[in-house]
């Protein structure tokens, strides 16, 4: 038995009587494929599949074989938690897939329940992350269009945040450019004051105490559950909200969409 199929050294087989009949099996070429076949056979049995997945993680850690991508084998949160102790880094691919799906489902669920709001999926160019956006208002000044947006996106630490943003919209290139709050205040004080006041009222109504200012000019707060736990896609702990999305994404989307729908309605109606 060897790690990668190399024949044993002469020292290793010294004294072996039947050297000509020696057959070498390896973790890489024999044991690992066999374990993956076993995993397919018990894929619907969570306890058994989790145990086998742990063995696969141990072997891949031993042989350091990059081409075996563990993310494709993770089918549930139990699988993910089973290999965290060895393979935290391989969860990243899986969690990026879940993050994208979560935001897409969240955005569309909210769109379905909110009328009269322009909705758009974009990508945060600074952090290369997907975002969902609800443009709640716009004005035109000197042939330039300015918009107020409420967005949902992961920050650079991959925690989900709700954002209050002002944009300048370029119709020709169909692009949006962030504007700092102070800059929009100089452009149109009335437009700024209207939405800044709505934000302040919202903070009181929802008891949001963690409002922060991003260097790019927008204000944001962390999306949390009823216990105040942040939706963090780098949190691989036992009680991680992000990991629970692997099994319960529709349930979590329904729960968080209700919070965001209420936020948007309050912003629109106040």
What is the pLDDT averaged over residues 143-158? 91
Of residues 170 and 78, which shows the higher confidence score?
170
Q: Is the pLDDT of residue 147 over 90?
A: yes
DSSP code, position 28: I
- Is 111 found in the same domain as 58? no
Q: What is the pLDDT of residues 37-66, one digit of tens each?
A: 888 888 777 778 777 877 777 777 666 554
Note whether 191 and 105 are same-domain residues: yes
Instruction: Determine, yes or no, domain membership for 98.
Output: yes
Kindly state whether residue 3 falls inside one of the protein's structural domains.
no
pLDDT at 35 over 50: yes
Residue where a domain terminates, one of 20, 40, 73: 73
Handedness of CA 68, 71, 77, 83 (dihedral sign): positive
pLDDT value, residue 258: 93
Q: Are residues 130 and 256 in the same domain?
A: yes
On the question of pLDDT at 243 being above 90, the answer is no
Specify if 79 maps to a domain.
Answer: no
Residue 187 banded pLDDT, cuts 50, 70, 90: very high
108 pLDDT above the threshold of 80: yes
Residue range 196-221: mean pLDDT, rounded: 85
This prediction's pTM:
0.66
43 and 129 assigned to the same domain: no
Pair 105, 57 in one domain: no
Q: Are residues 126 and 259 in the same domain?
A: yes
In which band, very low, low, confident or very high, does the pLDDT at 26 lie, cut at 50, 70 and 90? confident
Polymer length of the chain: 270
Residue 131 has pLDDT above 90, yes or no: no
Q: Would you say residue 159 lies in a domain?
A: yes
User: What pLDDT band is residue 68 in, cutting at 50, 70 and 90?
Assistant: very low
Mean pLDDT of 190-216: 87
Question: Is the domain of 45 the same as that of 162?
Answer: no
Q: What is the predicted pLDDT for the residue at 66?
A: 43
In a domain, 84, yes or no: no
pLDDT value at residue 59:
72
Q: Where are the alpha helices (DSSP H) in the chain?
A: 32-41, 46-63, 77-87, 91-113, 181-187, 189-205, 241-269
Indicate the pLDDT class of residue 156, thresholds 50, 70 and 90.
confident
Whether residue 170 is found in the same domain as residue 108: yes
pLDDT at 73: 55
Q: Are residues 41 and 124 in the same domain?
A: no
Asked if residue 1 is part of any domain, the answer here is no
Kindly give, in sequence order, each residue whose CB lies less than 8 Å from that of residue 84, ignoring residues fewer than 6 positions away.
91, 236
pLDDT score of 249 more than 50: yes
The domain boundary residue, chosen from 45, 73, 101: 73
Quick one: pLDDT at residue 67?
Answer: 41
Q: Are 87 and 56 in contact (CB under 8 A)?
A: no
| 64 and 110 both lie in a single domain | no
Mean per-residue pLDDT, 3-8 = 60
Domain boundary among 43, 73, 103: 73
Q: What is residue 63's predicted lDDT score, i.e. its pLDDT?
A: 62
Task: Tell me the pLDDT tens digit for each residue of 115-127.
Answer: 778 877 766 555 5
Average pLDDT over residues 226-255: 87
Is the pLDDT at 97 greater than 60, yes or no?
yes
> What is the residue range of 264's domain?
92-268
Query: pLDDT value at position 37?
Result: 87
185 in a structural domain: yes
- Same domain, residue pair 116 and 239: yes
Helix H or strand E segment including 222: strand 219-222
Name which residue leads in pLDDT, 218 or 254: 254
Same-domain pairing of 101 and 205: yes
Q: Give the chain's domain count.
A: 2
Judge whether 166 lies within some domain: yes
End-to-end distance of the chain based on CA atoms, in angstroms? Answer: 71
């Amino acid at each position: 038995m060897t790690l990668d199929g190399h024949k044993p050294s002469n020292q290793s087989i010294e004294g072996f009587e039947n050297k000509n009949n020696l057959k070498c099996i390896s973790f890489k070429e024999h044991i690992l494929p066999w374990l993956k076949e076993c995993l397919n056979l018990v894929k619907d049995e969570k306890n058994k599949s989790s145990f086998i997945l742990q063995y696969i993680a141990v072997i891949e850690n031993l042989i350091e074989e990059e081409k075996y991508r563990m993310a494709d084998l993770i089918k549930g949160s139990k699988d993910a938690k089973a290999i965290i102790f060895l393979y935290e880094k391989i969860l990243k691919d899986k969690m990026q897939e879940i993050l994208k799906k979560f935001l897409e489902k969240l955005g569309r669920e909210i769109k379905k329940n909110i009328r009269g709001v322009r909705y758009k999926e974009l990508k945060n160019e600074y952090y290369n992350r997907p975002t969902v956006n609800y443009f709640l208002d716009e004005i035109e000044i000197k042939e330039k269009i300015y918009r107020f947006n409420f967005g949902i996106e992961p920050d650079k630490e991959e925690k989900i945040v709700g954002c209050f943003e002002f944009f300048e919209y370029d119709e020709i290139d169909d692009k949006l450019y962030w504007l700092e709050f102070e800059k929009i205040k100089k452009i149109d004080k009335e437009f700024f004051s209207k939405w800044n006041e709505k934000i302040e009222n919202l903070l009181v109504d929802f008891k949001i105490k963690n409002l922060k200012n991003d260097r790019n000019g927008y204000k944001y707060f962390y999306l949390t559950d009823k216990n105040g736990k942040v939706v963090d896609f780098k949190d691989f702990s036992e009680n991680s909200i992000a990991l629970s999305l692997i099994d319960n994404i529709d349930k979590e989307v329904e729960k968080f969409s209700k919070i965001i729908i209420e936020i948007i309605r309050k912003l629109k109606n106040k």
